[in-house]
Amino acid sequence: LAVDELKKALKLYGAGEPRYSEALKIIATLGSATWSQLRTGIEARLGKITDSTLSNILRNLADSGFIRKDGSKYTVADPTLRRGILTFL
């Protein structure tokens, strides 16, 4: 259910959806990720990303409740959602 809601929410981002999905996959895979790790990972798979674009992605995901920021690291907000991201995204 959580993954279905996530997929619906990601579709709202249109052309930006791959970057949102990649950010979530990186965070879920690592367990937690810094801004630099996210930027490096996204750029390795999808090409250059600006600071402002990455900041917007992280803010939108946090505002939607999918991720949270703990100090300097981002984590998936819910363990069930994390498993769903690793399995289905």
Summarised one tens digit per residue, pLDDT across range 18-76 is 999 999 999 999 999 999 999 999 999 999 999 999 999 999 999 999 999 999 999 99
3-class DSSP state of 66: coil
More confident residue, 66 or 10: 66
* CATH number of the domain located at residue range(s) 2-88 in this protein: 1.10.10.10
How far is the C-alpha of 50 from the C-alpha of 46, rounded, in Å?
12
How far is the C-alpha of 89 from the C-alpha of 58, rounded, in Å?
17
Residue type, 10: L
Q: Does the pLDDT at position 2 exceed 80? A: no
Q: In terms of pTM, does the model score above 0.85?
A: yes
pLDDT interval class at 1 (50, 70, 90)? low
Q: Does the pLDDT at position 6 exceed 90? A: no
